[in-house]
Every structure is written in structure tokens, then in C-alpha cells.
């Protein structure tokens, strides 16, 4: 239960912050370090920001870079924060990395806004990564999904298991 958790951040809405002068949201520094500190989380972990991209902009090379970072980690428990639109695609690319529990999470609303699901999802994913057996999982909105059989339901702001 006290294994080191390697956390990789890739961007997505969870890390978006509002730039008033630009009247738009852009991806800022990873939200997770402040979140864990403010919530008094003392689970051994380290955070690496791999990229700052909306997941709609991630290409094959980005996904290979995420896979390489996860595969190279000496930790057996890996948490990836990621945009929701393509987290199942990245989940499929991460399949087959042996002996690691890999949990991907994100948020429908930026961690920087009040009515965000970010803290709930990160807390849930942190529990999932410490308890699930090796494999790749999407942990969102209180549910664990198999990326191979899951789609994002945009209209419903949720993930849905297929089949």
C-alpha cells in the first residue's frame, strides 16, 4: 500500500486555467501537486509533467512518449492525468506494459474552477492505483473502466462501457 506512485501529467482540461486577458482557458502547470498538498496526501509519490496538451491534440508520437515514460518508470503503480476526450486511446496504447497498475484520470471541468470534478477524480484514482491489480484502467466519476471497451459520452459528460 505504500509503494511509490509515479504520476505523469499530460495536460487536458484538468490542468486548464482561465486567462482573463485572452478570454480563454489554456493548459497551465499541472494541478495535481497543489491538490495533493492541500488535501494532506502523504502517499509516497513523484510528479512529472510530460506535456501540456489538450488530448485532442495528442498524436501518435505523444502517446509513444507517454508509453515510454510509463514503461521506464521503476514504480509499479502509475497515475496518468490526461484529457478526457482521448484518454481511452492512450489507455489502449499503454496496454501490455507488464507488472504495472496504470490508472488514467482527468476531469470534465478544470481543477481551477469551483464546480470541478478534478479533486474527486484524482482522489478516486489514487485509491484505485493503490488497490487494483496490474493492468490499465480509466478511473472517472467514481467508476473504473477498461479502455478497450469504453467510450466517452460527450453529451452525457461521462464514460460508458460498451458490450
Least Å from the CB of residue 72 to ligand ASN = 24
Residue 147 DSSP symbol: G
Q: From CA 64, how far away is CA 62, in angstroms rounded?
A: 5
Residue with the three cell numbers 460498451: 162
State which residue, 106 or 147, has the beta carbon closest to ligand ASN: 106
84 touching ligand ASN, by CB under 6 A: yes
Q: Please state, in angstroms and as integers, the Cα–Cα distance from residue 110 to each residue in 4, 26, 84, 114, following that order.
A: 26, 10, 11, 9
Closest-CA residue to 17 (of 36, 31, 35, 33): 31
State which residue, 13 or 73, has the beta carbon closest to ligand ASN: 13
Is 90 in the active site? no
What's the full length of the chain, in residues? 163
Considering only 30, 51, 102, 106, the residue that binds ligand ASN (CB under 6 A) is 106
Q: Report the C-alpha dihedral over residues 128, 90, 37, 124, rounded to 10 degrees.
A: -30
State which residue, 98 or 155, has the beta carbon closest to ligand ASN: 155
15 touching ligand ASN, by CB under 6 A: no
With contacts defined by CB under 6 A, name the span among 70-78, 81-89, 116-124, 132-140 that binds ligand ASN.
81-89
Considering only 12, 75, 88, 102, the residue that binds ligand ASN (CB under 6 A) is 12
With contacts defined by CB under 6 A, name the span among 66-74, 83-91, 95-103, 136-144 that binds ligand ASN.
83-91
Of residues 17 through 46, those in contact with ligand ASN by CB under 6 A are none
Least Å from the CB of residue 118 to ligand ASN = 10
With contacts defined by CB under 6 A, name the span among 52-60, 62-70, 89-97, 130-138 that binds ligand ASN.
52-60
Q: How many of the other CB atoms lie within 10 Å of CB of 46?
A: 12
Q: From CA 156, how far away is CA 48, in angstroms rounded?
A: 31
Sign of CA dihedral 50, 102, 82, 142: negative
Identify whether the C-beta of residue 73 lies closer than 8 Å to the C-beta of residue 31: no
Residues noted as catalytic: 13
Amino acid at each position: 500500500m505504500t509503494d511509490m506512485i509515479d504520476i505523469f501529467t499530460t495536460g487536458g482540461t484538468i490542468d486548464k486555467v482561465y486567462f482573463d486577458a485572452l478570454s480563454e482557458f489554456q493548459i497551465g502547470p499541472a494541478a495535481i501537486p497543489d491538490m495533493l498538498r492541500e488535501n494532506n496526501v502523504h502517499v509516497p509519490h513523484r510528479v512529472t509533467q510530460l506535456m501540456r496538451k489538450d488530448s485532442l491534440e495528442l498524436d501518435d508520437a505523444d502517446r509513444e512518449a507517454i508509453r515510454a515514460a510509463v514503461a521506464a518508470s521503476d514504480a509499479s503503480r502509475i497515475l496518468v492525468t490526461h484529457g478526457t476526450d482521448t484518454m481511452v486511446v492512450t489507455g489502449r496504447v499503454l496496454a501490455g506494459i507488464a507488472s504495472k497498475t496504470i490508472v488514467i484520470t482527468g476531469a470534465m471541468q478544470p481543477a481551477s474552477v469551483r464546480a470541478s470534478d478534478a479533486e474527486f477524480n484524482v482522489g478516486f484514482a489514487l485509491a484505485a492505483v493503490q488497490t487494483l491489480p496490474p493492468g490499465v484502467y480509466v478511473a472517472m466519476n467514481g467508476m473504473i473502466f477498461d479502455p478497450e471497451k469504453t467510450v466517452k459520452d460527450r453529451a452525457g459528460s461521462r464514460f460508458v462501457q460498451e458490450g
